[in-house]
Structure 1
Amino acid sequence: MKKVNFQLLCFSFLILVLMSMSVQNGYAQKTKEYGFGLGVATYSGDIIRKLDPSQIGLQGTLFGRRKFDNVWSLRYGIALAGLNAADSVRPLDAVAQARNAYFKGLLVEGHVMMEYHFLDYLAPHSPVRYSPYGFFGIGYTMFFGEGQAYQGELAPDEDGDYSLSTPVIPFGLGVKYQLQERLFLSLEFGFRPTLSDFLDKIESDETHLPRFPVDPDDGSGGASTVPYGINYGNKADKDWYYFLGVTLSYSFHKIECFNY
């Protein structure tokens, strides 16, 4: 039910964005901006609970932007990122060390976001050439990875390939600086909460890994001797990933003074 409600929310937001674009179409055609960005990406979930600088990957993005005025803009784009994590690098506890899970893979994200700049730095007589900004939107992510959820899951000749897709809610903060009249440099940090608990290949479903598996033929008399028979996923939360990077963009719009 929550997933359905979220999808309805995303659809409603997208409709509002498209309506805003149509209303502003006459102006927005003169305020196009395009750019690219580079940076790093990491994740948090069942292997990493907090941001870990020792387990990061590279990320890049291509985007376009339409400005409605000097503070509001619509941004749309696609991002690629490499994510990885392993219990062997920095295990959370003894159970995680015994679990020995790991994953790595490529993430592809499409997104639409609204940006709000807190300073009117584009005004002709503005004393500053920069502005902090916040952004919020919707997106959709596909992830193609390989890994293992626990020690012994994979046969020696298996790579553990898997894939998933999930809606995401991108939001974050940044600072944008006007290098030249039409050239802009930004530094931003973005959060991406997902609706999936499978980004790291670790789920909370006990059917994947019984808590106390018993081998009736091992001579133990019914007692479990498998050390990895544990509930290894946290069903109380979903996986997140994060982007930190810089962007460079060029504006094709005609500089105008907006009246408020």
Structure 2
Amino acid sequence: MTLSKKFFLLVFSLTSLNTFAQKIEIGGGLGAMNYKGDISPNFYPAFARLGGNLLFRYNPNKIVSFRTNLVLGSIYGDDSKVDDSFNQLRGKTFKTSINELNVVTEYNFFDYKYNRYHKDWTPYVFGGVGLMSFSPRDEKTSDYKTLQVVIPFGIGIKYNVTGPLDINVEFGTRKTFTDYLDNLGGDNPALPKNQQNDYSRSDMYYYTSLSLTYKFIKVYCPK
């Protein structure tokens, strides 16, 4: 390979790398994790617990983005605080730690790309697949698997604060395939009636977050 060809290849590689880097976004944030299941048959905001997340996003164009998230948090529930006589009679409580890694696709309703002449924003929806591991505070009541597939989906809003900095507000639901997030699941007729659960439905959890992200963009200054 001649020297000129090597130089051309180097310039092309650096240009491609720079173009790719300008489509990358990283960030993190805090939020609240909640749960719906046997000990919380409806959405109870009082059961929310603190969570945190780190994200990596790739923006190939203005409409679609691809993102991977690491989410850490915990969920909680208490039968005695639920407005249902069966729950109050059962009197169970739980706390479970959750670690989640997911990959999702985002669809922006408006063209979303940083422009130095104005602050951009858009609502978006997302959906994908992930892996979730959970660890109950109390001793396991059954021999269930604590590593599970989850289906994350939800809505959010992106807002460009200034330059490469964006704020993301998001509400997401996690469809699970386990009934043991609350350490209470399965069909066990040997249990007293007031200690059994609704084994026909899987548990699910939610994560509401506020994240700050940084885009690797090149800002051209006027001469």
TM tier, shorter chain?
Answer: 0.7 to 0.9
Task: Look up the match of 2:213.
Answer: 249
CA distance, structure 1, for counterparts of residue 109 and residue 117 of structure 2: 13
Q: How do residues 47-62 of structure 1 correspond to structure 2 at under 5 angstroms?
A: 47-62=39-54
TM, length-normalised to structure 1: 0.71
* Residues 25, 232 of structure 1: alpha-carbon distance in 2 compared, 3 angstrom cutoff: farther
Following superposition, which runs of at least 4 residues in structure 1 exceed 4 angstroms of deviation? 24-27, 123-128
Query: C-alpha deviations, 1:184-206, integer Å up to 9, x for none?
Result: 00111000010000111111312
Q: Which has the higher strand share?
A: 2
Task: Look up the match of 1:133.
Answer: 124
Deviation at 1:98, TM superposition (A): 2.2
* Equivalenced residues, count: 202
Match of 2:56 among 64, 79, 82: 64
- Gap runs ≥5 in structure 1: 1-23, 148-159, 212-227
Match of 1:202 among 184, 187, 191: 184
CA distance, structure 2, for counterparts of residue 126 and residue 161 of structure 1: 56
Query: C-alpha deviations, 1:66-124, integer Å up to 9, x for none?
Result: 1110121110021101111011222522x322211111021100000001111113264
Whether contact under 8 Å (2:90, 2:195) holds in the other structure is: no
- Gap runs ≥5 in structure 2: 1-15
TM, length-normalised to structure 2: 0.82
Give 2:200's aligned amino acid: A
Please tell me whether residue 232 in structure 1 is matched to residue 214 in structure 2.
no
Task: Look up the match of 1:82.
Answer: 74
Q: CA RMSD in A?
A: 2.5
Q: How do residues 15-30 of structure 1 correspond to structure 2 at under 5 angstroms?
A: 28-30=20-22
* Residues 246, 170 of structure 1: alpha-carbon distance in 2 compared, 3 angstrom cutoff: same
CA distance, structure 2, for counterparts of residue 56 and residue 191 of structure 1: 14
* Residues 126, 137 of structure 1: alpha-carbon distance in 2 compared, 3 angstrom cutoff: farther
- What secondary structure does 1:198 align onto? coil
* Residues 25, 193 of structure 1: alpha-carbon distance in 2 compared, 3 angstrom cutoff: farther
Query: C-alpha deviations, 1:163-195, integer Å up to 9, x for none?
Result: 712110000000110001200001110000100
Give 1:144's aligned amino acid: S
